[in-house]
Every structure is written in structure tokens, then in C-alpha cells.
Structure 1
């Protein structure tokens, strides 16, 4: 029986992905900064583990207690919508600490284990903003773009060790609480000069033509984790698929 470790399982895509792998009969290590076992069905195949991807000691503790891991899904992420000029640099650094450096730190920690096992799959979850950058999300887009390049390079670098590297690119999910895990008030990030520009964008967010379900992402992660080809990118959700085909 294979084992998957998934970061950021307290809500959204990570939580649904953990449920999906459990339903397929895998051992699941669901990680969260503040563990809550009540979020997932009780199962002998489930472990809920504390993990903060920005804390090296937390990463070492989580991996050190986990045994063999066949797949790592780097899903944990934060973001916020707002004008770039109004977004504090302290928060931009926080976004990169989680979305970019957190993914790199988890990857650097897991690769030696995969090499020793002579097998492993790394799945990095980015966003459809890497397919078509959207306004009012410049820092978030930059953090995810960095992971796209990082992952593409690693796919070549690690292939010799039988380590497969994949990207899952979710589209827009209205259920995503962008910024709910931050200390920022989105209203503070839209200065008066930007309001005429921002209003139709937010109206579009409220009534998108195509959206992504959490199950779309879970299924894409599952497909990526089990794909034996050299395919790198897995758009998730009809909007992300449409953007990938148009690009």
C-alpha cells in the first residue's frame, strides 16, 4: 500500500485531496499547521500531522516520524487579492515564504528519502494564474510562477533517480477564501484610484463563466501522482483546462 503526504490539509484542495486518496485505499499523511482529526473520516490509513512548511524544525519532525513516503503533494499556500502598490512588503515575503520557499524546503527534505527508496513522486500545486496572470494578484502570481520554473527544472534533474515531478494547476474556485488566513483586510489593498478598475474584476469573481471544484483538483493530483509518463502539467478544472488549451 502506497503512502502520500499532503501539505495544507485543513481546508480546500488539500482536504479534498486527502479524502480522495483515502477513498482510493492509500495511506494518507495529512499535514496542517494546527492539526484537526475531525476534518477527515476516521481510518486506520490516516495520520494527521502538525507541519508548518516555513519552519525547518517542523518539517524535520514531520518527515522524521512518517516512515516511507511514496508521493509528496506540496499544496499548502496563502494568497491575497489587492493592488500591488498597497500590499505591504512584509506580507509579500510571507506569501513567498509559504508558496515558494516552503515548497522548496519540503522538496529539499524529501528528495534524499526518495533517492534512498529509488522511487518517489513530487506533485507541486500552483494555480491557473501561471497560465494567464490576472490583475490584483501580482505577488501571488509571482510566487506560483517561481514554482512552475522550479518544478520544470527538477523534473529533468531528478529523472535519473526514478523520481517523477509533476505540476497541478487549479483554476478558480469560488469556495477558496483568498486571504482568510492572513491578517490583511482586502479593503485596505484597493486604494481609491484602483476602485473603478477593481470593481468589474471582483464582479467577475462573483459570477465566473467557468469554475473549479475541489474534487477537480483532487482528481488531477491523483492523476499526476499515478502518471508514469514524462507529462509535467495537469490543469485542474474546466477554466484551467480552457486556459491551457488557449495558451
Structure 2
């Protein structure tokens, strides 16, 4: 519950199986995933940090941390990871792929790969943990979306579409799950160029951008570099922590100064 006097979020999840709540976080090889894992460890949780190729680099040492291999696009990998992890109190669907490119320059195979990870991977993980949460009538699922869904932006049409799908899915799924004591929430990070996610999104642009779009795309990329209000991995970890532990948290939580500004602007426009 949230205490205004102390400004501290306390876990609200209660289980009979174990006094120590357990979270499973996907995409923990770098960036947001590592920061989220560190935050939950700091708060006394058991953390299952998953990634396609398990590695300890960047993750804090703790006897409450387990690292498991997981590819969210492979059903067998999901089943094996959840069997090894045991009961989950909170699932954080953080694994994702970025893409900075215009539609005409994007190879359709890369588009399919992006949707497979960002959308179907999120759905598959959610579907896999839901039966146990529903039976216990307790659990939280947090899906990492993006602030790019708050307003149209160039060279992000494909990525924005994938995250908009995550938004729509989560909002509707939350209505399905609420009657069983399971909550679903969205965290919308802003631009995080210092993280490997941001760098990889640019790298995926590669040489695919048609020459005709070159000046347009380069001008936009430069505008991103000039923005002073950005998002840090710690901003995202804080938003995820609130989404999990505050039962009154709104459906969408922006993470980072730029995301919060976009969220306020969108709210004013809708008013």
C-alpha cells in the first residue's frame, strides 16, 4: 500500500506458500531489465532474471537472484523457465526489440521478428503465468510499453504499432483478469539513448533506409540527440515497482521526464 506520509511503496502481494514474494523479469541482459531486477532485490524480493543467453554481468550478486535462459518467442523455452522458477507473484514483460526506420526501409522479416518479441512474446508469457495466478487469486503482470504510443513520431511507425498493440492487449486483458485477483499494468518509458536498447534500435536501421528518406531520418535522429529530458533505467525500475506494489496505480505509468511530459500533454489534449 502507498503511505503519503512516508512516500514508500510497500508490497501488497500476500501468498501462503512463501513469505518472500518472487518476481520474474524478462530481458535482463542489460538496461531496463537489470535495473528492475536490482530494484526488486533491494526491496527484499526473490528475483528470477531471464534472458536468451544467461550471463551475470551487470546484475547484482544476491542469494535471492536466479538467472534462467528464456526466449519469449519459443513455447518450450517459456515452459522450461516457468517450471524452474516456481510460483510467480509478479511478472515483468520487459523483453523487447526496437526499430528506428521508415516503413519503406524496413525488411518484412525484421518487422515479423519485432512483433514476435514485443507483442506475441508478451502475450505468451502472460498466458503462461496466468493459470497459477488465477488459481491463487493473486498476482501482478507489468508490461513494458513505450511513450512513443502517446503521439505520432517519424521513423517509429513499426515500433509504435507493436507497442500500441501491447497497450490495447494489456488494457483489455486487465478486465479479464481483475475478477480473479490478478492485476495488469503498463509502464511507458521515454527515450533512453544511453541504454543498449536505444543503441540497438539505431543499429537495426543499418543500411536499409532508402536514400530518399536519408536527410529526413538523419534530422530526426539528431533531434533525439538534442533532447535534454530523457529516461534512465532507474526511472523505469521505479515505475515498475509502483505498478507491482501499489494497488491504486493507474493503468499507464510514464517513466522518465520526457515520458511524463508527453503523458501530461496527451491528457491536456484529451480534456
SS in 2 for 1:42: coil
Query: 1:179 deviation in Å?
Result: 7.2
Write the distance in 2 (CA, Å) between the matches of 1:42 and 1:181: 26
Q: What is the aligned counterpart of 2:215 among 192, 196, 199? A: 196
Partner of 1:23: 42
Contact residue 83 and residue 189 of structure 1 kept, 8 A: no
Query: 1:37 deviation in Å?
Result: 2.1
Partner of 2:13: none
1:209-245 Cα deviation digits (max 9, x unpaired)? 3100110000000000012126201000010011111
- Runs ≥4 residues deviating over 2 A: 176-182, 184-187
Query: 1:128 deviation in Å?
Result: 0.5
Write the distance in 2 (CA, Å) between the matches of 1:190 and 1:210: 27
Task: Tell me if 1:39 matches 2:53.
Answer: no
Contact residue 99 and residue 204 of structure 2 kept, 8 A: no
Write the distance in 2 (CA, Å) between the matches of 1:23 and 1:15: 12
Write the distance in 1 (CA, Å) between the matches of 2:90 and 2:64: 15
Task: Tell me if 1:115 matches 2:134.
Answer: yes
Write the distance in 1 (CA, Å) between the matches of 2:249 and 2:23: 20
1:54-94 Cα deviation digits (max 9, x unpaired)? 00000000001111210000000001211211111011000
In structure 2, the gaps of 5 or more residues are 1-19, 267-271
In structure 1, the gaps of 5 or more residues are none
Partner of 1:57: 76
Write the distance in 2 (CA, Å) between the matches of 1:219 and 1:202: 27
Partner of 2:238: 219
Partner of 2:177: 158
Write the distance in 2 (CA, Å) between the matches of 1:8 and 1:30: 8
Write the distance in 2 (CA, Å) between the matches of 1:107 and 1:185: 27
Write the distance in 2 (CA, Å) between the matches of 1:25 and 1:225: 14
Aligned residue-pair number: 247
Write the distance in 1 (CA, Å) between the matches of 2:207 and 2:198: 12
Task: Tell me if 1:86 matches 2:105.
Answer: yes
Task: Tell me if 1:105 matches 2:124.
Answer: yes
TM-score, reference length from structure 1? 0.96
Task: Tell me if 1:8 matches 2:24.
Answer: no
SS in 2 for 1:113: helix
Contact residue 171 and residue 211 of structure 1 kept, 8 A: yes
